[in-house]
């Protein structure tokens, strides 16, 4: 068997190895879960229930409906919030403005490198997390927000912060994942195109 033929035969296995399902965790495995109530508890419940479904929801740009087999980042927020009885806007940019216009957005200064920084003192489970620069939007949006996830809090077992949503390439416990589920919440590395902007949830929902 030639080297080229062997490479072609192994290619599907290599592609499959790169595509790993995001994390799935129980609500009780989150340190802050027992203290939650109201909208925040409903958001976390719905976010984790969706992640735990047997069907692996892939990352699917433009989708806010799990029945299509996948969701994009803002589509997953839109769906989870609707299931929690909340009517958000649809895109990551308008979700950002929804939080900001409510006066509930906490800006994280560019260059912040640690989640222990004082600016994260207000961060709570259920908050939306916003990034820019993760890709180049083509829809003419007025603000450069390009990615959103739902903050879940800290895992009891690792003590590390986690988030839920749909993504194509973020990690969970250090392993690159794709689709809807639980991911590590990390700030962008120095030199990354992505920029973490901040977080929040409209006060009327808290």
Give the containing element (helix H, strand E) for 46: helix 38-51
Region 5-21: what's the mean pLDDT? 52
Residue 1 has pLDDT above 90, yes or no: no
Helix axes of 73-83 and 92-101: crossing angle, nearest 10 degrees: 50
> Rounded to whole angstroms, how far apart are CA atoms 188 and 49?
28
State the pLDDT at residue 189: 86
Look-up of token digits 């993760």 = 134
> Rounded to whole angstroms, how far apart are CA atoms 37 and 160?
22
CB 41 within 8 A of CB 152: no
**Nearest alpha carbon to residue 190 among 118, 112, 83:** 112
CB 89 within 8 A of CB 82: no
State the pLDDT at residue 139: 63
CA atoms within 13 A on the CB side of 129: 28
Give the containing element (helix H, strand E) for 144: none
Residue 9 has pLDDT above 70, yes or no: no
State the pLDDT at residue 192: 83
Look-up of token digits 């062997």 = 6
Q: Which tens digits make up the pLDDT trace of 110-169?
A: 989 999 999 999 999 999 999 998 767 666 666 789 999 999 999 999 999 999 999 998
| 182-199 residues labelled b (16+ CB within 10 A) or e (exposed) | bbbbebbeeeeeebbbbb
Q: Which residue has the higher pLDDT, 158 or 192?
A: 158
* Band (50; pLDDT cuts 50, 70, 90): very high
Region 30-43: what's the mean pLDDT? 97
| pTM for this predicted structure | 0.89
Averaged confidence pLDDT in the chain:
89
Structural domains of the chain sorted by starting position, each given as residue range(s) with its CATH number in brackets: 20-205 (3.90.1720.10)
Residue % of the chain over a pLDDT of 90: 79
């Amino acid at each position: 068997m030639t080297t080229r033929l062997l490479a072609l035969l192994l290619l599907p296995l290599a592609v499959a190895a790169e595509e790993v399902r995001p994390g799935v965790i129980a609500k009780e495995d989150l340190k802050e879960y027992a203290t939650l109530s109201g909208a925040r508890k409903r958001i976390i419940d719905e976010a984790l229930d969706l992640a735990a479904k047997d069907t692996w929801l892939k990352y699917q740009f433009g989708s806010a409906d799990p029945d299509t087999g996948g969701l994009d980042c803002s589509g997953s927020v839109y769906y989870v919030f609707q299931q929690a009885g909340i009517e958000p806007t649809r895109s990551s940019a308008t979700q950002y403005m929804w939080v900001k216009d409510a006066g509930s957005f906490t800006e994280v200064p560019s260059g912040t490198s640690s989640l222990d920084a004082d600016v994260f003192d207000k961060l709570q489970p259920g908050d939306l997390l916003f990034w820019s620069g993760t890709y180049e939007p083509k829809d003419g949006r007025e603000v450069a927000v390009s990615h959103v996830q739902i903050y879940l809090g800290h895992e009891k077992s690792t003590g590390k912060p986690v988030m839920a949503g749909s993504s194509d390439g973020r990690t969970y416990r250090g392993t690159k994942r794709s689709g809807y589920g639980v991911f590590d919440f990390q700030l962008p590395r120095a030199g990354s195109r992505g920029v973490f902007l901040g977080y929040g949830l409209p006060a009327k929902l808290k």
